[in-house]
Structure 1
């Protein structure tokens, strides 16, 4: 239980306050003064009747102005504030006494050392440090704050070392120091954020493979233009990430980037959501998506799933940048760039009449195709290591890595869900691993072997339908490369009649396939 006593700054007033507690045989656990006008008293809990007897007596003391219960002592708040800061500090934090022995550490430092926080109390921190004499620094006549590079457990760190002085009677005494150690990886992250500009907005798109580096080079060139971009690729390849990078590197980077999920956008509210409602003078007026994105970029996610209604409403705005709000006849002009993404074959949808041809050509002014992860296997391990480092740091784990068997496994796994699947699988693995090595059993993945391949659990349909689908896709890809069906038949070791029948069956001809 705690009381807060507002009082005048008067000699002997604290003694009179404590005398009341002595009179009632109450053991005081702590007393604290704040700005000479407040006294905080901490004592063991008493029943309500006893408290009602104490408080009037305290108020009768000469110089006491008010007495009320308090939730905490000032030092308790300060202590918990400091503990919270230390616990959440993202780098290694070590507090030592004047002889270099550990007083306290945060969980990250304890994790790196490999012991519990309470086990480290009293241990000499110098046993883990190389390249700097902590003892000589503490024995100087005046210990000054210092930043230096050193080795901690064989790893390189930059250490900020700050002495702790306690002042009293005009003197100050060295009580110890705090050490804050930043790893090379942490410094790199901080420098990346500090130097982040439009030019390096693509830093978030990781690429080691030649094919992915080529995509990024093309995307950087396209980002400086103001035309629409169509990004194609399988689910989970990072189409939105690339779109955001293109927006960030463009002259529109300081303006809004609004994501419109075309698959989930309801037709019944499309007009009001896109164009807004009413007049600016109307209290019920509402700005739509197009106005909100003025000067920036609208990202049309899953554009292949866009309904016919939404396609019609979108086309005019893309053509001339103008529209009218619902219930208003005033023409509004906006300056918006469109970046669209799809995992569908839009050419095929146009042929089938499911996607407007004019809209397709308006969106596909500039085109990018992101290869699947299985088509750029040299990206898998670097991506995996980056994800592991990010997730481990967020969970206060260090030195987490893939075992050799696990590295080999993920490098040859087909990753049907691409980068998104890899990221989710490794997040779970880092969360459940108890040691420092991620093994194959930590990966929650459908069965896969090099001998038998990968069984797609979501597969639907019959074997015949699957074979026909593969056959049609193969013929669509090969048809433009061969000037005659006879050459195509020879390539596939089939008769001319068989090829002609299959092309007819799958409606593949010069009109449906761009040659």
Structure 2
């Protein structure tokens, strides 16, 4: 039970209110005083009858204006606001007394130390943090804010120390301890870049492995050139991230960067989307190339571009001109073209699925993004980066990675590459169950064997059962497109009778006409 007492300040007011509480055998648990004319009282719950008598009695006390119930005390609000702030901070924070003993610690710090709260409270901070003497610093004649490089085990941190002074009655101050905040080198680097406002796209690309550092070196050189650039690599390796980084590091950085996935654009609409169209002499759609003029256009999955759009793109790359659908005027644009693909364009040229002359036009500059399994040194740093990012985004404490989880992350094949890792970490953080460690089970990664693909490690049954399951699924997918047994039999190269029997066995019925 909490009461807010509106009053005028006078000597003895609190004593008079306490006497009223004493008459009703109410033990005061806490009292807050405000310089704005309020007293706040906290005591154990009382019955409604008692409260209805108590409040008028308090109102009769001299200098009391009014009394009402409230949900919380100001000190409680401050306490829980501080607790919430400490819990959500990604940095490790300690409050120590004048003897350098830990008094308050947040969850990030406990995870950094791999300890429980009861194991560190009242213990000297130097038991775990090496490289700076907190007790010597707090015993100096004048204690000033400090910053120092410290170590916890083999990990390095930047420690920021701020002394805590309380005012006393003689207008001076008393040193009661300090607040210590630990930041990782990666976090310090991010803050420095943000402060200097010099962050470019390449600052967001993590590269610890030698092969990825080599890619970055070449990409940074190519970023300043205006020639077409082709980025190759498997799905999820970060091709668009690198394309955007190249744009951000170029002289075109202030101009538009427009990305389009060619596989997501219907063949009939590709030319219209890219180059626009005119009707009745009026421009109905500008087209993405016109919108990107002066900047960069990124064509992802360029192998999926329609034949008609390939012809127009070739012309644009040759002389910088194109013509909108239905238009008669030539349009000139100044735009850099960056393409990406996970396919082998040279092979597609041999089979006639991609124009060979266009291939040579877009393949002036190029680099290849390595698969995550080819840069395993980057797996744990990427995991830690995604953990920190999503923990901040979702207001969760940053968790440490369990030993078993580290081993699993390093040995997994990652067919979806960095995108798959990023999505797995987001899922694990968003479903946080309060545990201090990231575990293998929380990642929920599907079983995968390199060279064989995904497999179901919980499958029960025989090979014949598995074949029937696959066969049934295939027929259900194909039957709507080939809605007669003869058409479906011709597609699959088997007899009409065999298809009819299988459809009957699997209880697959003829699709309903639209």
TM-score interval w.r.t. the shorter chain? 0.5 to 0.7
Deviation at 1:117?
0.8
Find the aligned partners of 2:310 and 2:352 in 1 and give their Cα distance: 12
Find the aligned partners of 1:276 and 1:50 in 2 and give their Cα distance: 78
Partner of 1:181: 182
Find the aligned partners of 2:80 and 2:332 in 1 and give their Cα distance: 55
Partner of 2:253: 253
Asked if 2 retains the 8 angstrom alpha-carbon contact of 1:230 and 1:363, the reply is yes
Partner of 1:111: 111
Deviation at 1:243?
0.9
Partner of 2:451: 454
Partner of 1:29: 29
Unaligned runs of 5+ in 2: 279-283, 392-396, 456-466, 468-514
Partner of 1:169: 169
* 1:221-244 CA-partner distances (Å, limit 9, x unpaired): 321123432222222332122212
Find the aligned partners of 1:300 and 1:47 in 2 and give their Cα distance: 72
Deviation at 1:197?
3.7
Change (3 A) 1:399 1:339: same
Find the aligned partners of 2:261 and 2:415 in 1 and give their Cα distance: 22
**Does 2:388 match 1:387?**
no
1:220-239 residue pairs with structure 2 within 5 A?
220-239=220-239
Find the aligned partners of 2:191 and 2:117 in 1 and give their Cα distance: 27
TM-score with structure 2 setting the length: 0.65
Change (3 A) 1:123 1:219: closer
Deviation at 1:199?
7.0
Partner of 1:510: none
Asked if 2 retains the 8 angstrom alpha-carbon contact of 1:321 and 1:335, the reply is no
* 1:380-419 CA-partner distances (Å, limit 9, x unpaired): 2x21242244356556345866899879x84xx7654445
Asked if 1 retains the 8 angstrom alpha-carbon contact of 2:7 and 2:64, the reply is yes
Asked if 1 retains the 8 angstrom alpha-carbon contact of 2:27 and 2:43, the reply is yes
Partner of 2:341: 342
Find the aligned partners of 2:196 and 2:368 in 1 and give their Cα distance: 29
Asked if 1 retains the 8 angstrom alpha-carbon contact of 2:321 and 2:330, the reply is no
Change (3 A) 1:422 1:26: closer
Partner of 1:465: none
Partner of 1:304: 303
* 1:163-213 CA-partner distances (Å, limit 9, x unpaired): 222223124333222222344555455456556746772661526445x55
Asked if 1 retains the 8 angstrom alpha-carbon contact of 2:271 and 2:308, the reply is no
Deviation at 1:220?
2.3
Give 3-state SS (helix, strand or coil) of 1:81's partner: helix
Change (3 A) 1:373 1:80: closer
Find the aligned partners of 2:68 and 2:218 in 1 and give their Cα distance: 69
Give 3-state SS (helix, strand or coil) of 1:454's partner: coil
Deviation at 1:18?
5.0
Find the aligned partners of 1:196 and 1:400 in 2 and give their Cα distance: 35
Change (3 A) 1:202 1:228: farther
1:302-381 residue pairs with structure 2 within 5 A?
302-307=301-306, 336-346=335-345, 349=348, 363-372=362-371, 377=374, 379-380=375-376
Deviation at 1:369?
3.4
Deviation at 1:332?
9.2
TM-score with structure 1 setting the length: 0.65
Find the aligned partners of 1:313 and 1:64 in 2 and give their Cα distance: 84
Find the aligned partners of 1:191 and 1:350 in 2 and give their Cα distance: 47
Give 3-state SS (helix, strand or coil) of 1:298's partner: strand
Asked if 1 retains the 8 angstrom alpha-carbon contact of 2:111 and 2:436, the reply is no
Asked if 1 retains the 8 angstrom alpha-carbon contact of 2:226 and 2:336, the reply is yes
Find the aligned partners of 1:277 and 1:21 in 2 and give their Cα distance: 83
Partner of 1:240: 240
Change (3 A) 1:256 1:63: farther
Find the aligned partners of 1:301 and 1:55 in 2 and give their Cα distance: 72
Unaligned runs of 5+ in 1: 279-284, 463-515
Asked if 1 retains the 8 angstrom alpha-carbon contact of 2:401 and 2:439, the reply is no
Partner of 1:396: 398
* 1:3-47 CA-partner distances (Å, limit 9, x unpaired): 434444455555555565556554443222233323333333445
Asked if 2 retains the 8 angstrom alpha-carbon contact of 1:290 and 1:336, the reply is yes
- Number of residues of Structure 1 aligned to a counterpart in Structure 2: 439
Change (3 A) 1:291 1:402: farther
Asked if 2 retains the 8 angstrom alpha-carbon contact of 1:237 and 1:371, the reply is yes
Find the aligned partners of 1:336 and 1:262 in 2 and give their Cα distance: 18
Change (3 A) 1:368 1:138: closer
Deviation at 1:435?
10
Asked if 1 retains the 8 angstrom alpha-carbon contact of 2:446 and 2:454, the reply is no
Find the aligned partners of 2:180 and 2:269 in 1 and give their Cα distance: 57
Farther off after superposition, 388-397 or 136-145 = 388-397
* 1:268-306 CA-partner distances (Å, limit 9, x unpaired): 98799778999xxxxxx9998667655443322223234
Find the aligned partners of 2:227 and 2:444 in 1 and give their Cα distance: 42
Asked if 1 retains the 8 angstrom alpha-carbon contact of 2:231 and 2:341, the reply is yes
Find the aligned partners of 1:178 and 1:151 in 2 and give their Cα distance: 17
Deviation at 1:349?
5.0
Partner of 1:75: 75
Give 3-state SS (helix, strand or coil) of 1:90's partner: coil
Find the aligned partners of 2:453 and 2:130 in 1 and give their Cα distance: 52
Partner of 2:42: 42
